[in-house]
Amino acid sequence: MARMLAAGSSMMSSCSQKLGAGLWLVLLGLSAAAVPAWTKPDSLKEVTDANWDKILAGEWMIEFYAPWCPACQQLQPVWKDFADWGDDMGINVAKVDVTEQPGLSGRFIITSLPTIYHCKDGVFRRYQGPRTKDDFLAFVDEQKWKTLEPISSWFGPSSFLMNLMSALFKLSMFIRRCHNYMTDSLGIPVWGSYVIFGLVTLFLGLALGLLLVFIADFVFPSRRFSPDYHQKYRNIPTIPLPDEGQEADGEEEDDEDYDGWRRRPGPAEMKPPYADDAVRKRAVGNRQEEEEEDT
């Protein structure tokens, strides 16, 4: 009986040791699996329209992607691996979903996907090299970004022009969502949605034009409504008009002058100023010859 109890106690001790070792391994595996899941969101940052200005300080590598893009889907594992090295290299690695952040899409003029930008203290350069982890690491570690031409300040994301582009992209996305809501949720046909947008655009255009007229009239008022306008033109002396008789006399004189002008000989009919003198001298000479013959 004692032997049986001793054997049972030894079996229980061995089982407890095995159970403790197994429990320790399970806890260790769970902790190892939980640590990467907790650190990955911090290694790969997300930039939105609300916090995009934080990329103006420090060094950043930013990827613009769309979930439906096949090339973006192939790049995601590589970009996550590159993000895990970001803390060691002192660089922030981020991503931007252009379908959820239309303002940033317009601010950076994203025309192809995926698009990668490098930012160093507010100076942006577009990355156009190979898309592997080693190439990304070499681009940052060897400072190959210095060989690229930076984006002009006119087209920088913080410029006035790009702020307008961001607002325009946000407006276009808002219009698209309204169109989808009217056609999908409310059951309005597509042509009906277009008619509604056309009427709204026409009404807004008329209202904006009327507002601009009011503003222009307020800033640059018309001179007719100024207090000294009528007083200024009231002091101008008036020129008396001629009577009807004077007008008639004047018209007759004009007619006479016109007729006299018409009766004047033309250049072909006019004689030279010396023609009459020559004829007179010739007549006098002929008369003197006749008198001499008579004598």
Which of the residues are catalytic? 69, 72
Nearest alpha-carbon partner for 140 in 181, 185, 96, 83: 83
Could you tell me which residues come within 8 angstroms of residue 176 by beta carbon, excluding any fewer than 6 positions away?
Answer: none
Do 156 and 120 meet the contact criterion of CB atoms below 8 Å apart?
A: no
**Residue 59, SS3?**
strand
DSSP run (H or E) holding 125 = strand 123-127
State how far the Cα of 50 lies from the Cα of 53, in Å rounded to an integer.
Answer: 8
DSSP 95: E
Nearest alpha-carbon partner for 98 in 110, 80, 116: 110
- Within its chain, how far is the Cα of 265 from the centroid? 75
**Residue 268, SS3?**
coil
Helices marked H in the chain — which ranges? 2-43, 70-84, 86-89, 102-107, 133-141, 160-180, 190-219, 229-234, 244-263, 275-294
Could you tell me which residues come within 8 angstroms of residue 154 by beta carbon, excluding any fewer than 6 positions away?
Answer: 161
State how far the Cα of 292 lies from the Cα of 143, in Å rounded to an integer.
Answer: 131
What are the beta bridge partners of residue 65?
Answer: 97
Residue 242 half-sphere exposure toward CB, CA atoms < 13 A: 8
